[in-house]
Amino acid sequence: MGFSWIPGRYVSLYSVLVLIALAGVGCGYRVASKNRIDAKFQSIAVQTFENETTTFEVEQIFTRALIQELATSSNLDIQNEPGSADLVLEGRITQVSVSPVAFGKTAFASTFVLSVSADVGLKNRRTGEIVFRNSRYLFRDQYVINVDVENFFSEENPALSRISQDFASSLVATMLEDF
């Protein structure tokens, strides 16, 4: 049986040939780890953020999220000690605020916006040069609470966790691409 190019026939063969041709072309995306910071530096130390707020352990939540994001999005070796790293990432959580944005049938708020502000700096340990700085990182997340007192569960901690992941993703992408 020979190949015939009658419309509708041998569509699967044509599809296979097109897929083979496209596979060699590439999609135009590149791996996030193929950037300038990975080419210049080999390692990074993430110091535990300082907490200038009254929110319990917010600095630990944000520091953990940054370490996890760096581990998955870069080729940098993450060091425990700043003295053994090429780069040192330092930061401060400067503000955590919760604001009501919607009210239920009663006078109690049912939806809140959680805002977290941070001051972040990345320095070259060998030269002391600040290679990245943002003193006004601001992230917000909205959450809803159950206003029924019997079934109340605070959603602030899960919201903090979500914000920390967004914060880490944004910060690492900015540092890796804008360096």
User: Which pLDDT band holds residue 178 (cuts at 50, 70, 90)?
Assistant: low
Q: CATH 3.40.50.720: does it fit domain 33-177?
A: no
Residue 122 pLDDT > 60, yes or no? yes
Neighbours of 125 (CB within 10 A): 18
23-32 mean pLDDT: 44
pLDDT in tens, 39-96: 689 999 999 999 999 999 999 999 999 999 999 999 899 999 999 999 999 999 999 9
pLDDT at 31: 44
Answer for the pair 60, 100: CB distance below 8 angstroms, yes or no: no
Residue spans of the domains in the chain: they are 33-177
Q: Rounded to an integer, what distance in angstroms lies between the CA atom of residue 102 and that of residue 112?
A: 7
Residue 12 has pLDDT above 90, yes or no: no
For 8-29, what is the mean pLDDT? 47
* Residue 25 to residue 27: CA distance in whole angstroms: 7
| Model confidence at 33: pLDDT above 50 | no
Average pLDDT, the chain: 79
Closest by CA position to 89, among listed 58, 57, 109, 66: 66
- pLDDT at res. 118: 97
What span, in angstroms and rounded, lies between the C-alpha atoms of 162 and 26?
33
Mean pLDDT of the 150-160 span: 66
Copy the structure tokens of residue 49.
Answer: 């953020």
Global pTM reads 0.72
Q: How far apart are CA 55 and CA 135, in angstroms?
A: 19
Using a 10 angstrom Cβ sphere, with 0-12 exposed, 13-18 middle and 19 or more buried, the burial of residue 133 is exposed
d(CA 164, CA 172): 12
Q: Are 87 and 131 in contact (CB under 8 A)?
A: yes
